[in-house]
């Protein structure tokens, strides 16, 4: 495994592996994907088995040419055309009614198919070499944080894939925004780099899936994958939310208590706050001045803590302006929705 753009021969070999029904992990601009031929039901079944993923949780089909879209969907609504024009290639997945050639194994038994056209040049070259349609969920063991480096893929799936293409660290670090076009009004099923506001600017009315808004309610999210606990580190994670000073004080008090018992906590801080935590294993996720750094490092930080003997992990909250919705969606899932709300003491 070497980072950088793979040579022609490596890509041709990877393409052959996919055409013959094998699995290749590869970088995209969002996270690393575990690729198989999307039109081959046995390849999709291999993907589910390798990840330990429940087979009712459909895969996203990746294309690398706009014209390929019409081959795998039964219909392209006007809104989907507009979004494709604006955001493809890019971190956007659209759910559309599927064409017959897409096997039910790939779509988790559904009549719709999720499609994305990634912007990463390695991903595009691989998809073309494979014949045009690559099913690729995130290349992690089901339930673990998604991989943002080839090393993460190796950790989780090293033995289960035929090849891993190393393209270095990904740029975005959170999975694509998913927009469902199978209903009258487009619905966001998973927040991502492209925010609800950006979608509304382009499409007008766009709804957020109720299952995402009411995380603790009984409303089932429409994307089957969103109902599972996900991204979880091994130690118990809680999010501490409130004014910065109150959050720092609360986390320091948990950390000090743990220390008295001979334990150590993990702390997910930012460049701006990390010096303020004297106890525990402190990691900065990025800078609040640049929310993209927070998104990019989230999964890496969660994975990193698995290497330490920490009794619990406390994270600051990251309701940043544009990607905050996506970052907090993943962090809340990783924490199993455990939030501690704190307030500054009145003087
Ligand atoms: P991942 O492959 O790990 O990025 O996850 C893909 C997400 O897309 C999961 O949450 C799936 O449930 C969701 N998804 C894929 N296809 C569909 C579909 N046809 N309808 C609704 N959600 C889908
Ligand atoms: Mg995933």
Rounded to whole angstroms, how far apart are CA atoms 112 and 146?
A: 24
At residue 5 the predicted structure's pLDDT band, cuts being 50, 70 and 90, is confident
- Please answer whether residues 57 and 228 qualify as being in contact, where contact means their C-beta atoms are separated by less than 8 angstroms: yes
Is the pLDDT assigned to residue 180 strictly greater than 90? yes
78-97 residues labelled b (16+ CB within 10 A) or e (exposed):
ebbeebbeebbbbbbbbbbe
The CB of 36 under 6 Å from ligand 1? The reply is no
Rounded to whole angstroms, how far apart are CA atoms 273 and 67?
A: 48
Query: Nearest Cα to 157, choosing from 42, 54, 35?
Result: 35
The CB of 189 under 6 Å from ligand 1? The reply is yes
**What is the per-residue pLDDT for 222?**
83
Query: Nearest Cα to 327, choosing from 289, 299, 287?
Result: 299
Say which CATH class 8-212 falls into.
alpha beta
Helix (H) or strand (E) segment spanning residue 135? strand 134-135
At residue 33 the predicted structure's pLDDT band, cuts being 50, 70 and 90, is very high
**pLDDT tens-digit readout, 140-151:** 999 999 999 999
**What would the mean pLDDT of 313-325 be, rounded to a whole number?**
96
What is the whole-number distance in angstroms between the Cα of residue 146 and the centre of ligand 2?
Answer: 6
DSSP letters for 158-194: TTT-SEE----S-SS-SPPEEEE-SSSS-EEEE--SS
What is the distance of C-alpha 294 from the center of its chain?
14
**Backbone dihedral region of 15: left (phi > 0), alpha (psi from -120 to 50 degrees) or beta?**
alpha
Task: Return the biggest CA–CA distance within the chain.
Answer: 69
Where along the chain do the CATH 3.40.50.11030 domains lie? 237-341
Q: Classify burial at 208, counting beta carbons within 10 Å of its beta carbon; exposed 0-12, middle 13-18, buried 19 or more.
A: middle
pTM of the model: 0.95
The protein residue whose alpha carbon is closest to atom 11 in ligand 1 is 225
What is the whole-number distance in angstroms between the Cα of residue 138 and the centre of ligand 2?
Answer: 4
Q: Which CATH number fits domain 237-341: 1.10.510.10, 3.90.420.10, 3.40.630.10, 3.40.50.11030?
A: 3.40.50.11030
Is the pLDDT assigned to residue 346 strictly greater than 70? no
**What is the per-residue pLDDT for 223?**
82
Is the pLDDT assigned to residue 120 strictly greater than 70? yes
Q: Per mean pLDDT, which range of 106-120, 215-229, 301-315 is the poorest?
A: 215-229
The protein residue whose alpha carbon is closest to atom 1 in ligand 1 is 137
Task: Give the ligand at the shortest distance from the Cα of 47.
Answer: 1
Rounded to whole angstroms, how far apart are CA atoms 297 and 330?
A: 12
Is the pLDDT assigned to residue 8 strictly greater than 80? yes
Closest ligand 1 atom number to CA of residue 93: 8
**CB within 8 Å of 214: residues ≥ 6 apart:** none
On the CB side of 218, CA atoms within 13 Å amount to: 0
Where along the chain do the CATH 3.90.870.10 domains lie? 8-212
**What would the mean pLDDT of 35-62 be, rounded to a whole number?**
96
């Amino acid at each position: 495994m070497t980072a950088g753009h793979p040579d022609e021969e490596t890509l041709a070999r990877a393409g052959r592996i996919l055409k013959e029904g094998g699995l290749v992990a590869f970088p995209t601009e969002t996270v690393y994907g575990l690729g198989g031929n999307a039109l081959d039901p046995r390849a999709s079944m291999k993907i589910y088995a390798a990840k330990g993923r429940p087979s009712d949780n459909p895969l996203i089909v990746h294309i690398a040419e706009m014209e390929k879209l019409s081959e795998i969907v039964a219909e392209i609504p006007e809104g989907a055309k507009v979004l494709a024009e604006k955001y493809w290639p890019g971190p956007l997945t659209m759910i559309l009614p599927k064409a017959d050639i897409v096997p039910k194994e790939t779509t988790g038994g559904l009549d719709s198919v999720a499609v994305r056209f990634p912007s990463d040049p390695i991903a595009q070259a691989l998809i073309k070499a494979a014949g045009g349609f690559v099913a690729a969920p995130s290349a992690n063991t089901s339930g673990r944080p998604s991989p943002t480096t080839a090393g993460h893929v190796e950790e989780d799936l090293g033995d289960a894939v035929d090849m891993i293409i190393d393209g270095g660290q990904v740029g975005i670090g959170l999975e694509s925004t998913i927009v469902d076009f199978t209903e009258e009004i487009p619905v966001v099923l998973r927040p991502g780099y492209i925010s609800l506001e950006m979608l509304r600017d382009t499409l007008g009315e766009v709804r957020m899936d109720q299952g995402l808004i009411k995380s603790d309610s009984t409303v089932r999210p429409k994307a089957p994958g969103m109902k599972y606990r996900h991204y979880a580190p091994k130690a118990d994670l809680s999010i501490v939310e409130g004014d910065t000073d109150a959050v720092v004080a609360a986390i320091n008090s948990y950390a000090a208590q743990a220390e008295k018992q001979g334990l150590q906590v993990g702390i997910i801080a930012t460049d701006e706050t990390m010096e303020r935590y004297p106890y525990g294993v402190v990691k900065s996720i990025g800078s609040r001045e640049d929310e993209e750094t927070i998104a990019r490092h989230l999964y890496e930080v969660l994975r990193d803590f698995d290497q330490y003997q920490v009794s619990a992990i406390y994270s600051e909250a990251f309701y940043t302006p544009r990607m905050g919705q996506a970052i907090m969606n993943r962090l809340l899932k990783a924490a199993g929705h455990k939030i501690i709300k704190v307030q500054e003491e009145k003087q």
